[in-house]
Chains A and B, each alone.
Chain A
Amino acid sequence: MNTTSKLTEAFRAAIEHPTRGVVGIVDDLLRLCPEQGLRLDWQADDCLIHCRTGDSEEAIDLPIRKSVFRAILARIAVLCNEQRPNSVSPYGGEGELSQSANPLVQFQVSFTNTPAEQTLELTSKGDPNGEP
C-alpha cells in the first residue's frame, strides 16, 4: 500500500468510526493532513476527500450525512476564529488555524459551508521549527 493509500484509509477510519465526535474528526483531519494539502467536497450524498502526497492525488468517497460534513466545517470555522477572532464566518471564508496537539503546526484554510455548497481546502504550512 503506497503512502497516499495509507493516508486515505486513515481518513476513512477517522471519519467512519469517530471516537470523539465531530471535534475528534477535525483533530484527526489536521493530524493526518499531508503537507501538500487536502480537499474535501460534498457531492451527491458523499464526502469526497482528495488527498495529495508528492506527485500523486487520491480521492475517496465516504457515505456520511451532510449534517456531519457541515459540522466538520463549522468546527473548522471555530478553530480559525480562535486563532484570529472574526477572521471567518461560519458560512465560509479564508483563515488559518493550528493543530491542537501541536500548535506550532499551522494550516491555511479555505471553506464554504452553505446549504448549497460545502467545500474545504486545507494546506499545511508546516512547523516553523522544522518539523513537517
Chain B
Amino acid sequence: MPILLHGTTMLRAKRIEANGPDANFVEPGDGTRAEEFSTCLDAGPFHLGTPEQYARRKAALFPNEGGPAILAVDVPDGVIALTVDEYFPLSQGVVQFDAGAGLEELRAVWSTLPKEIRQG
C-alpha cells in the first residue's frame, strides 16, 4: 500500500489520525468547510509543494496548534484509484480525496489503516 503524507499542525494531525479526515472541519477564523483532504505520495514528485512546506506554513499561521506535523498513512491501492482522474494523475504525486472521489471510502477504512505522525 502506498504511504500518503499530509502536512498540517500537530493538533490537526492528531485529530485526523484519531477520527479520519473531516470534510466539515472549519479553520479558526475562516468559516468555510474543508470539503476535501489533500495528500501526496511519500515518494513524490511534489509538483504542488512538499508536505513539510505545508506543515511549516500552516503551523506559522496557527502558532497555538503544536507546531508542524506530517501525518503518514498507508492507503490501499483500490481507494487511491478512486481519486485518479484527468486532473490528478498519480504520476504528479498528488492524491486528492474529494466527496464522490474517494473521500467517503477513505473514511470508511480509516480506522484500519496503519498511520503515524512525524515531526514537520
Contact = CB atoms under 8 A, between A and B. Distances in A.
Contact of B88 (A19, A22, A78, A89): A22
Given A66-B36, A116-B31, A18 B87 contact: yes
B48 A115 contact: no
Interface stretch (A30-38, A52-60, A68-76, A101-109): A68-76
A115 B33 contact: yes
A78 B94 CA distance: 14
B96 A71 contact: yes
B53 interface: yes
A84 interface: no
Nearest to A79: B47
A17 B53 CA distance: 30
B89 interface: yes
Interface string B48-73: 11000110011001000000000000
B34 interface: yes
A66 B35 contact: yes
Given A22-B87, A68-B87, A75 B48 contact: yes
Interface string A17-45: 11111110100000000000000000000
Given A115-B27, A115-B32, A115-B33, A21 B49 contact: no
A71 B49 contact: no
A77 B49 CA distance: 8
Given A67-B96, A91-B61, A116-B32, A17 B86 contact: yes
B74 interface: no
A89 B55 CA distance: 11
B57 A74 contact: no
Contacts of A116: 30-32
Interface in B10-52: 26-27, 30-36, 38, 46-49
B84 to A, nearest CB: 10
B25 to A, nearest CB: 9
Interface string B66-110: 000000000000000000001111011010101000000000000
Contacts of A18: 86-87
A22 B27 contact: no
A95 interface: no
Interface string A89-115: 111000000000000000000000011
